[in-house]
Each structure stands twice: as structure tokens, then as C-alpha cells.
Amino acid sequence: MNNDNNIQAVSLFNKLADSYQERFLSVEAYSESFEVLLSLLNQNSTVLDVACGPGNISKFLLNKRIDLQILGIDLAPNMIQWAKKNNPTAQFKVHNALQLELIPDTFDAIVIGFLFPYLSISQVKECISKARKLINTEGIIYISTMEDRYENSRFRSSSTGEQLLMHYYEASDLIEILEMNEFKVVFEKRQAYSINETESDTDLMLIAQKLS
């Protein structure tokens, strides 16, 4: 990735891979959106899991559908090692989420789980545009992120004290970007995520289908 915040995020996730996979391996809280995604995928569909982390989303999908052919990418090598351990039937490699154009394959679905909080708006537009070119006709894109006004993006502290700039996006802005790239949104959901006893975020899940 190409700026200091991206580099810092990758370094942090690489360092915290062990604790992250222990804390976030279960994605049952988001099961409804994943079930919708699965319902849209034919047998033996190919899936690209972007910024896959320890393979937590891939694991959920494969536990439900062993027929899926999944490739996961992440820029943190330690996350990729965990993803391989957690999903021995899938493929994983170290790869930059902002260089999707270097992936030679196409996919029936692309999953982008909680990557956008670490990307600027210009990078989000770039990522969705590049993802579109890798998705087969009538294929699916799945996005999860944190919802708020972009102007409210701010530095947040990690569990180890590092400050990291977190970007927020409103559904309307992401839907506009998706529609500009010839996607039709077929699923939209929000749910609260508790940070601590006094703070919470709003998680946003979007699923869209490529029109052409």
C-alpha cells in the first residue's frame, strides 16, 4: 500500500496476528450477511478474500460450503500463515489489496471484509474499480466496514497503544461508488459493535451484484 497509514496498519496487523486470530476468528455475528452471500453463489464458485486476515471469513464460508474455491490475500505475512492453518483447503498468498490488477484470475465473488477503515476514499474507489474487473458477469462483491460520516474519520488506539487513522464511510457514498462501477446493491445491513462500555461503532454490510 502506498501511504504511511497503510504501512502502519500492515505492520500492526502483522505484529498482532496471533491475538487477532484468537479474538476475531469467529464471525458468527455477521452470519446473516454471509448466508445471503452464500445463497448467491453457485456450486464450485470461485471467491477472492481480500485483506483476509487470519482467514476468518474464508473459514465461515468453507464450513458452510466445502465446494467453494477460495483464494485469500493479505499484506501481513503472519496473517497469511494463520489463514493457511485455519483453511487448509484454500489458497492464500501475501498480496497488496490495492494491486488487484496483478491477480491474473477472475472470480464469482470478491469479499472485502473491514479493509475500508484503513483506506482513504480515493483508495476505496480504486479498490472497487479494480475489483470489478476481476468479477465475472453477474458476480458478487461483499463489503463490510464501519459506518459514519467520512469527516468523522479519526485516529484510534490499538490494543498495544499505536495510533491508527480509521476511516468511516456512509452507505450512500459506497452505494454511489458501486453503482458507478455497474453494481446493483442487493443487501444492506447495519449492526452495533461494542468497543467498550461507553463506545460503539456501527458496522455496515453491503452485497452487490455486477450487472455486466
Q: Residue 70 sits in a domain of what CATH number?
A: 3.40.50.150
**Confidence class for position 157, pLDDT limits 50, 70, 90:** confident
Q: Cell numbers 444492506 correspond to what residue?
A: 188
Region 150-174 average pLDDT: 89
Burial class (CB in 10 A: 0-12, 13-18, 19+), 50: buried
> With 0-12 CB in 10 A as exposed, 13-18 as middle and 19+ as buried, what is 93?
middle
Count of domains forming the chain: 1
What is the per-residue pLDDT for 1? 45
C-alpha closest to that of 80 among 94, 61, 65:
94
Distance from C-alpha of 47 to C-alpha of 54, rounded to nearest angstrom: 16
- Residue range 34-61: average pLDDT? 98
Residues paired with 184 in a beta bridge: 209
Check residue 6 and give its pLDDT: 78
List the domain range (segments joined by +) for residue 93. 4-210
Beta-carbon contacts of 203 under 8 Å, excluding residues fewer than 6 positions away, are 30, 144, 145, 146, 147, 190, 191, 192, 193
pLDDT given at position 3: 60
CB–CB of 118/5 below 8 Å?
yes
What are the phi and psi torsion angles at 145 (to 5°)?
-160, -175
What pLDDT is stored for residue 159 in this prediction? 66
Q: What is the mean pLDDT of residues 63-84?
A: 97
> Which parts of 40-184 fold into alpha helices (H)?
56-64, 77-86, 121-134, 171-180
- Determine the pLDDT at residue 36: 99
